[in-house]
Amino acid sequence: LIYVTGHGGDQFFKFQDEEELTAQDIADLMDALYAKKKFRQALFIADTCQAFTLFDKLTTPNVLALGTSLKDENAYAHHSDKDLGLAIIERWTYAFLSGYHDRSNPQTTLHEIMVAPFASKQALGAHVGIKEDTSARKFKDVKIAEFFGPKKGTAGSKRTKAPNVEISEASAVNVPQDTYPTLPRNLQVNTEDSLDWHVLERSAHGEGKVSPVNEEEDYSSGSNAI
């Protein structure tokens, strides 16, 4: 799954108004990934102005591509952040995420959740374009679950706790204490990205201990666009 959003035009996509990614760049990228067998089925989504023109040069097998606007059409923001003074998410992306979380199930197809709700230009102020001519499987064939994991609260959404690993004294390797960098006292490392990360705490006496963090918490992904 590849997703891009931001400033776009006829066959180009801009990064910070300094660099551009062209339709030919995308075609070359997908050809290279396919040649190296990096995917069996790819989904490329572009949510920009004139987004569908980014796929004008694309001929790679097994790639499904979706652009949220056609040539000479704009993609519009759903809402802005007053403090940032920026649009933070596009209309298509916002509507797709809402539909995915509220109405999809494991049998929902890409077409049902990404294409069909936007058949009318009134929904987005633009037309959604799809490219599937080089793929044996079409948007109506591929399930959303193939690219997006289980939703929060559904079966399979909880990650399994990693099993404990025991190391016998006979197999243990003695490593000199000064091999590891000295950690500052009272150091605490936190992360919210994995259920199996641990917190390393060092007391005022220099004694360290490891304890599990958020082992039972569910996580769900989101998407921001600028």
What is the C-alpha to C-alpha distance for residues 94 and 221, in angstroms, rounded to an integer?
Answer: 13
Contact indicator for 23, 12 with CB cutoff of 8 Å = yes
pTM, whole model, 2 decimals? 0.66
Tell me which amino acid residue 93 is: T
- Quick: pLDDT tens for 213-223: 343 333 333 33
Residue 106's H or E segment, with its range, is none
pLDDT value of position 209: 38
- Quick: pLDDT tens for 51-102: 999 999 999 999 999 999 999 998 878 887 888 877 778 889 999 999 899 8
Q: Per-residue pLDDT for 22 more than 70?
A: yes
pLDDT value of position 82: 81
Which residues are known to be catalytic?
7, 49
What is the C-alpha to C-alpha distance for residues 200 and 122, in angstroms, rounded to an integer?
Answer: 53
115 DSSP 8-state letter = I
pLDDT value of position 193: 40
- Quick: pLDDT tens for 106-146: 899 999 999 999 998 888 989 999 999 999 999 999 999 99
